Amino acid sequence: MKYRMETEVVHGVEQSDPHTGALSMPIYQTSTFVFKNSEQGARRFKGEESGYIYSRLGNPNTDVLGKKIALLEGYEAGMTTGSGMAAVANVVLAAAGAGDHIIVDDTVYGGTHYLIEEEIRNIGIEVTRVDASVLGQVENAMQENTRLIMIETPANPTLKLIDITGVVKIAHQGKALVCVDNTFLTPFYQRPKEFGADIVLHSATKYISGHGDVVAGIIVGDQKFINHAFKISTHYGWTLAPFNAWLLLRGLKTMGLRVHKSQENAQQIASWLEDHKAVEKVYYPFLKSHSQYDLARKQQSGGGGIIAFELKGGYEAGKTLMDHVHLCTLAVSLGDCDTLIQHPASMTHAGMSEEAMREAHITPGLVRLAVGVEHVQDLIEDLDKVLQKL
């Protein structure tokens, strides 16, 4: 990167239109591209000439977006998918096939858990779930045919951290790639490449969009892996629409402002919650009370915008809180300008078995707050109004 991240989200990768000079990239809302003649069409299909063919196989808006995230994350290449889940599935299928083995951390986004348990196992990919924050468990799970270790750090929704360097060391002793889902922190606060991760993915639905109006995914890695993954994506048709890519490019320009504000708010709210009489425990990586505070300081440059907390009154208190706040909006997702509050046990992770929920440390009273960019005092007053009555 030539400039600092706040500058690169605005200027990194040229987007102005060479034909008209328009500063904002046009939306290439087209399914197909016209060839000058049949020979050119043949050359493009053979890969002898660069250029667009058909939007499932490539489109200027999605291409620029993939390149931009690759730049921010420090990887050679990037690609987009129609959702964050398509990105997760794409990475798994690009790294492993029937007869291979993958390791997945036991605390991951609910959708990732269901994909692994209900689809990936069924196509003959062997899966071991471990608590990857305990490196010994990762080491014990490694097999000759392990091809991928999939982790989220901080993990959704408990904010458990995983030592990326430690996991990479184990993976690379064998033949496994390490993929980090970096949705929670964004490259602003964590760049897994610096710790040796082979692949990074994002639910771009979250901070990259920032406005709660797009569902999208991103994968970045080396050119060889991305070429392979992109080919799979074209087969399955996990294509991101040009307009959605354009919205993400627009959202990216203010990502620096948004993530810094949301983090500043989150740090303040986390500290305030910690002293609140209605709160049993707060999980936020940059609180000294976080059991992995030292690791957070080592691999993150900020605590991010997500807080999880446990209320003394458990499930019922959590329900009362969510039903009576006004400014904090009861909705899943995260990374938006709006502060969103949700209850993982009955919402995002509700389909998990009791055992899987226990392994992931998702307790009935756990509340997740995805802090937005509003004035922090308004958010605190909104929460306090309800917490005082619990």
Ligand X SMILES: Cc1ncc(COP(=O)(O)O)c(C=O)c1O
The conformational region for residue 44 under phi > 0 = left, psi -120 to 50 = alpha, else beta, is: alpha
Bridging pattern class, strands 279-283 and 306-311: antiparallel
Minimum CB separation from ligand X for residue 275, in Å?
A: 28
Which residue is listed with tokens 């709006």? 338
From first CA to last CA, the distance across the chain in angstroms is 49
Q: How many Cβ atoms are within 10 Å of 6's Cβ, its own excluded?
A: 13
Minimum CB separation from ligand X for residue 190, in Å?
A: 13
Among 13, 71, 85, 362, binds ligand X (CB under 6 A): 85
Of 203 and 263, which CB lies nearer to ligand X in the complex structure?
203
Among 83, 153, 244, 300, binds ligand X (CB under 6 A): 83
Minimum CB separation from ligand X for residue 206, in Å?
A: 6
Round to whole Å and give the CA distance between 221 and 231.
Answer: 14
The answer to whether the Cα torsion of 286, 290, 296, 300 is positive or negative is negative
- Verify binding: residue 84, ligand X, rule CB under 6 A: yes
Helix axes 255-274, 242-253, angle to 10 degrees: 70
By CB under 6 A, the residues from 218 to 257 that bind ligand X are none
Written as six digits, the tokens of 230 are: 């992109």
Minimum CB separation from ligand X for residue 156, in Å?
A: 4
CA distances 15 to 12, 18, 65, 210, Å, are 9, 9, 10, 20
Fill in the per-residue mask, 28 to 67: x = in contact with ligand X (CB under 6 A), - = not in contact: ----------------------------------------
Of 109 and 142, which CB lies nearer to ligand X in the complex structure?
109
Among 65, 125, 151, 215, binds ligand X (CB under 6 A): 215
Minimum CB separation from ligand X for residue 375, in Å?
A: 25
- Verify binding: residue 203, ligand X, rule CB under 6 A: yes
Contacts with 49 (C-beta within 8 Å, 6 or more apart), sequence order: 40, 43
- Name the segment binding ligand X (CB under 6 A); options: 107-115, 137-145, 171-179, 358-366: 107-115
Q: Residue 175, CB half-sphere, CA atoms under 13 Å: how many? A: 9
Of 25 and 215, which CB lies nearer to ligand X in the complex structure?
215
**Number of chain residues interacting with ligand X (CB under 6 A):** 15
By CB under 6 A, the residues from 159 to 198 that bind ligand X are 181, 183
- Single out the residue of 384, 367, 373 nearest to residue 338, CA to CA: 373
Contacts with 131 (C-beta within 8 Å, 6 or more apart), sequence order: 105, 106, 107, 137, 359
- Name the segment binding ligand X (CB under 6 A); options: 21-29, 105-113, 300-308, 350-358: 105-113
Of 306 and 321, which CB lies nearer to ligand X in the complex structure?
306
Round to whole Å and give the CA distance between 108 and 103.
Answer: 12
Of 44 and 244, which CB lies nearer to ligand X in the complex structure?
244
Of 88 and 387, which CB lies nearer to ligand X in the complex structure?
88
Which residues form the catalytic set? 56, 109, 181, 206
- Verify binding: residue 285, ligand X, rule CB under 6 A: no
Round to whole Å and give the CA distance between 293 and 166.
Answer: 16
- Tell me which residue has its CB nearest to ligand X: 84
- Name the segment binding ligand X (CB under 6 A); options: 29-37, 79-87, 186-194, 320-328: 79-87
Residues at the contact surface with ligand X, assessed by CB under 6 A: 83-85, 88, 109, 111-112, 152, 156, 181, 183, 203, 205, 215, 217
